[in-house]
Amino acid sequence: MIKIIDLVKSFNGQVVLDGINLEIPTGKITVVIGKSGVGKSVLLKHIPGLLKPDRGQVIIDDVDVAQARGRALMELKKRIAVLFQGGALFDSLTVFDNIAFPLREKTRLPETEIVRRTLERLEQMNLDPEVGNKLPDELSGGMKKRVALARAMIQEPEIILFDEPVTGLDPPMTNTVFHLITKTHQESSYTALIVSHDIPEVFGVADYVAMLHKGRIIAWGTPAEIQRHPDPMVQSFIHGEVDFLEV
């Protein structure tokens, strides 16, 4: 269970997260929705400790992420993988080396086993083994996302955080990525947090949905509950209505 308690974060005096309270259930897919620039990625980056909160806590199985140091922090990070918005593939390494990177750095597996596992992940993402020889720059956006997902999955993490996993992808590739997330989740039962503004696709993969607005969680529930939520802001967002306050 990931517990986010009274999380506050500001940048240059501007409050982005203003007392977030959220519980992310183990083994489920939770999606945080909200408009662009509302702080969804900022929220996500507090979970692996990439950002430190001004106030509040992120607790993963009784460990406060911001307070964890040394070995405890390393152990925590080994349990978490992040799929970044742009993939964050290392552009000096081939696709194969990108996927194998966590195994080479953090395990003592023999190279034959690393090769086997890496090829297995490529296949799981419906990627040809030949793709392994390419550099990230030679891939399409959708392929980059699949390679990044393969890299995130290779250490079989307990928690995977997805930062806008389908941004910039065409509808078929969006469906492919969401299908892969669903498929890998069914196979591995990891805890997933997805931040996205892709409505209605996210409702198809989510067990729970939370809506972030003006630094706070204004709605939380199952996809069906969110779709029936009485808050006009939630309804306006999920129906894609023009926000006259923002125009």
Please report, as residue ranges, which positions from 104 to 123 form the binding site for another protein (by CB under 8 A).
105-106
**Pattern of binders to another protein over 155-194, x per CB under 8 A?**
x---------------------------------------
How many whole angstroms separate alpha carbon 238 and alpha carbon 209? 11
Residue 229 Cβ vs another protein, minimum distance, rounded to whole Å: 32
Q: Give the closest residue to 126 by CA, choosing from 90, 97, 152, 150.
A: 150
What's the closest the beta carbon of residue 235 comes to another protein, in angstroms? 33
**For the chain, how many helices (H) and strands (E)?**
9, 10
Question: Which is closer to another protein, CB of 28 or CB of 77?
Answer: 77
Q: Copy the structure tokens of residue 193.
A: 């947090």
62 neighbors 25 (Cβ within 8 angstroms): no
- 48 to 107, contacts with another protein by CB under 8 A? 48, 50, 74, 77-78, 80-82, 84-86, 88-91, 101-102, 105-106
Torsion angle in degrees (nearest 10) through CA of 140, 155, 159, 227:
30
Kind and range of the H or E element at 212? strand 208-213
Q: Which is nearer to another protein, 149 or 209 (CB)?
A: 149
Q: How far is the CB of 91 from another protein (least distance, A)?
A: 7
Please, what is the minimum distance in Å from the beta carbon of residue 99 to another protein? 12
* Site size for another protein (CB under 8 A): 21
Q: How far apart are CA 246 and CA 42, in angstroms?
A: 21
User: Rounded to an integer, what distance in angstroms lies between the CA atom of residue 134 and that of residue 188?
Assistant: 28
Of 131 and 161, which has the nearer Cβ to another protein? 161
Point out which residues bind another protein (CB under 8 A).
Answer: 45, 48, 50, 74, 77-78, 80-82, 84-86, 88-91, 101-102, 105-106, 155
